Chains A and B, each alone.
Chain A
Amino acid sequence: MNNKLYGNLIFELSKEGRIGYCLPDNNFGNYEIPSSMCRAEDAALPECDEMTVVRHYTNLSNNNFGVDTGFYPLGSCTMKYNPKINEEMAALPQFQNLHPEQPAETVKGAEHLIGILENYLKELTGLAHFTFKPYAGAHGELTGLMVIDNYHRSRGDLQRKKVIVPDSAHGTNPASAAVCGLEIIEVKSTADGLVDIADLERLVEQEGPNIAAMMMTNPNTLGLFETSIPEIATLIHNCGGLMYYDGANLNPMLGVCRPGDMGFDVMHINLHKTFSTPHGGGGPGSGPVGVREGLQEFFPFVSPYNGNFAVMMRACAYILSLGREQVKLIGPLATLNANYIKESLKDVYELPIDGLCCHEFVFDGLKDKSTGVTTMDVAKRLLDYGYHAPTIYFPLLFHESLMIEPTENESKETLDGFIAVMRKIAEEAKTNPDEVKSAPHNTPIGRVDDVLAAKHPVVTFRQLQAEA
C-alpha cells in the first residue's frame, strides 16, 4: 500500500498529446458530424499512454483490501471466497459477446444456463418460480414487494399497503417498501432478540385487513433463528398477508432449512452473498426473486433483459462446483465458525444475547466500558492488524453493535488469529487506550474527516481544482 507515492488522480497524470489507444482508419468516405449537433468544448478528460493507466490502477488496487487479501468478517455481507474458475467462465466470449436483443434461436446456451440456475435455486429455496431481472438485493426487495402489491391489487384488496418489519431489519427493507408505495410498521423484538409474538398479534389484530406482508430475514440480523416462524407465517397468512423472506441471511440455511418450507411466499437471493459472486467494491450484485406457485404472474418489469447475466453465470458455476454433496455443508460450517468466534471472545466482549447463533452474531462493544474505547476504535484498530472490520453500529438495537460474520471458507487458524487480535485489542484498551483510539496507524491513510467531506462537498476533479 503506497498512498504517498501513487496518490495522484488520473487527471493529474494527464499530458496533452498522449494517447492510450489505437483505432482503425476511417475509410467510410467523407462523413463528418455536423457542428450543429456538437458540444461547444471537448470534455476535459485525461490524456495518458497505456502504461501510465495500467500503473495507476494497479497502484490504486494496492490501497484496497479484498477477500483475497485477508479475513473480512463483515456482518450481514457474507464475504466468502470468490472462486477463480467462476470468473473465467463468466468471461467466455460465447456469452460475453451476446447482444440482449438477439433472437432466441441464437442464444439457446444462455437461456439454457438461466434454466439450470433457476432449477438450482428452486430446489435450494423450496419456491416454485424465479425472475432474474433484479440487479441487486435492494432491487430484489423492491421487486418482491411489487409482486405482493400486484397480487393484492389483482384481488381488489387495494387497502393492503402496510408491511410489518422487525425493528432489527436491514435499512433497505423500510426504504424498499417506501419506494413501492407501502408503509412500514415495526414489530418489537423480545429481550431474546426474536420477534415479539404478542406485539405481532396486537398489530395483526389492529391492522389485519391493511397488512400486505411481513418482511423478515431468518436468521435475523442478530444471527438468531426465529424459532416461531411457523406461528408467524400462520398469523400473517390468516389475516390475508404474504410472507417476504429477505435473502441477505440465506447462507446459514443451506443444508438446514428452506424459506419455502418455513412458510415464505416471496423472497430474494443475494447471489453476491450466498452464491460467491464478487462484491466488486459495491456492485454489481444480482437479486433474483422467487415466489410460491401462482404468484409468478405478478413478476414486474424492473429491468429490460435478463438482469445481471454475467453475475448469474458465476453463481451457476459455483453451485455446479459444489454440487449436492457440498452445498448442504455451507450452512453448518459457516455457523460453526461464527459460534467458535463468539464463544472464544464473549468473556471480553459484551454478548447481549447468549446461546447458539447462526452465521453471525452481535457484540455490544467491549465488556469493560470504563476505558472509553468504542466499537469504532476497535474496528479501526483491527485494520492495523491486517483484518477488515466487522459491521459496526448495526443492528440499531444496541449502542455499540459489532456484527461478526465469518464464512465457511475460513480456517481454524484464521479464526484463531482473529480471536487473538481481538483479545489483544481488548487488552490494549486497558493498557494503552490512546493507541486504540487513534488507530489505524499502519494503513495508507489515517482516520478521515467525514464532517469536512459532508459540510463542503468536493465530488469532482473540477471542484478539486477550484479549491486549490
Chain B
Amino acid sequence: MYKYFPHTDEDLKEMLEKVGVKKLDDLYAQIPESIRFKGDYQITSAEGEMGVRRVFNQLGAENKQLTCFAGYGVYDHYVPSVIPSLLQRSEFLTSYTPYQAEISQGTLHYIFEYQSMMTQLTGMDISNASMYDGTTATAEAMMMAVAAGKKVNKVLVSATLNPKTRQVIDTYALHHGIELVTIPMKDGVTDFSVLDNQLSTLDGVAGVIVQQPNVYGIVEDFTGFADACHEKKVLFIIDSVIADLAVLKTPGEWGADIAVGDGQSLGIPMQFGGPYVGYMCCTEKLIRKMPGRIVGMTKDNRDQRAFVLTLQAREQHIRRQKATSNICSNQSLMALFVTIYTSLMGKKGLKEVAELSYAGAHYLCDELLKTGRFHLAYEKPFFNEFYVKYDGDADQLYQKFIDAGFLGGVRVEDGFLFAVTEKRTKDEIDELVKIAAL
C-alpha cells in the first residue's frame, strides 16, 4: 500500500468487519456532511526518498555557507562527532517523556546527569530538566519571581539584556500582568546606582534580571547587586550563556536566586535558530516554585537505585490552572546534546574552549583596532564577543564580508558585534581583518 502503512486489502477487510462497518469512510459517519473535507488536498504529490533528497539538496544549495563571526546568544562551537552518532540511538530519539520509569531509565538517568552538570556550571543548588530555550527560560524565571513573592508584579530588567530576550519577556509580561521596568546602563554596563535607587523607591518589585556576559559581550561586575536585592526580598536573576560559566564567576558566586540562559553553546548546532535548550537553576529554597520537569533519585522495589520524574505536584497535568507553568515538556534530546558534550569536554575541555574563544576574540579585536578604522564602543572587559564602531559605511562592509564568505558579526547601530569561538582559526581572523582594513 505505502511504506508507512502496513494494511493489506485483506487486513482492511478483516478489521472493518470486526469494527462493523463496510468501508473506511463509514468510520466517520457521525461527522456532519457540511464540514467533511472532500476531494484532494492541494499539496505536492508524494516523493520517494530520492525525490525528497533532491528537493532538500536544492533548497540547501540556495543557502550561502558563511564562516561565522556572529554570536548574539547563538555560538558556532564545534560539535564532536560522538554527539550526532549517539543522538541517533532511536531508544533516546523515539521515546516519549519518561512517565514509565521502569522502561525509561536511559532518559531519566541522563537528565539527572544534566541537572548535576548545570548546577556545577552555575554554582546553584537545583536545576530543572531543561526548558525550550534561553529567552523563554528567562520569561519563566520572571513569572517564577512574581509567583514566589507576595503582592508583587514588577520586575526590573537591565538595559544590557539581549533585545531579543527582552522582546520575549515583554510579550509574556504583557499578558501575565507583569510590569517591566528598565534599569538603564552606563558605559555599557548595568547602572547599579540607579538600580539601588529603584529598589528603594519602587513598590512591588519581585525580581531583577541581568545578563552575564551582557549583550555587548562585556563581563559585568555585580558586586552589591544580590545584597541590594535580598534586602528588599527581591529575587536576583542572572541570564548567562552556559559555556562561559566554565570559567566566569558563577551566578551562585554572585548570589543569584535563579540562573537561566541558553544551553546551545554546549554541543548544539546553530540550525537557523532551533531547537536549542534553556536551562534553569535555583536555590534549594525555591525548588517547589520551579517550573518544568525535575528528575530525582529514588529506589525501586528491588532496592536498586533508580531515577524518576519528581515533584510533579507543581505541574499542569495535576494542578491545571494553578500550576507553576503551562510547560508540559522539557527539551530532553537537546539536554542530551549538552550532557554528552559536557561529558566529553569535561572539567578541562570546557575551560580550554573558553580560553581559545577568549584569546581569538581579543586577537581579532586588537587586529581590528590596529586598522585605525574601528574603536571599542565601551572600554570594558569582554569575553568572546565585543562591540566595535566603524568609521566607514558599516552596511557596505558587512556586505563585503558576506561576498567574501564571512558572517561578519551582527550589525548593530553604527558598528558590529563580533564573536569568536574555538572554531575560528588565526588565518580566518586575519582574512576577515584584511577585508575590514581595505
Contact = CB atoms under 8 A, between A and B. Distances in A.
A461 interface: yes
Nearest to B85: A54
B300 to A, nearest CB: 4
B43 A87 contact: no
Contacts of B168: 301-304
A117 to B, nearest CB: 11
A450 B298 contact: yes
Interface in A298-341: 300-311, 313, 317, 319-329, 332-333, 335-337, 339-340
Interface string A98-136: 111111011111101100000110011010000000011
A57 B16 CA distance: 44
B176 interface: yes
Nearest to B73: A304
**Residue with the highest number of chain A CB atoms closer than 10 Å, among B31, B98, B125, B250:** B31
B389 interface: no
A431 to B, nearest CB: 22
Interface in B273-289: 273-275, 277, 287
Contact of B31 (A20, A21, A257): A257
A68 B248 contact: no
A136 B132 contact: yes
B152 to A, nearest CB: 16
**Residue with the highest number of chain A CB atoms closer than 10 Å, among B109, B315, B336:** B109
Nearest to A18: B346
B43 A327 contact: yes
Contacts of B224: none
A332 B2 CA distance: 14
B89 A453 contact: no
Interface in A336-353: 336-337, 339-340, 343-344
Nearest to A255: B37
B107 A282 contact: yes
Interface string A37-71: 11110111111101001101110111111111100
Interface residues of B, number: 199
Interface stretch (B181-189, B191-199, B201-209, B320-328): B320-328
A325 to B, nearest CB: 5
Contact of A309 (B37, B91, B273, B336): B273
Contact of A333 (B7, B129, B271, B328): B7
Contact of A136 (B28, B247, B329): B329
B302 A98 contact: no
B234 interface: no
B344 A332 contact: no
Nearest to B63: A109
A372 interface: no
Contacts of B376: none
A458 B297 contact: yes
Interface string B235-254: 00000000001111110010
Contacts of A120: 43-44
11 contacts: A26-B359, A230-B35, A257-B35, A282-B330, A303-B136, A317-B52, A326-B4, A327-B43, A356-B28, A447-B300, A459-B297
The 5 closest A-B pairs by CB, nearest first: A323-B46, A305-B273, A94-B60, A280-B333, A109-B62
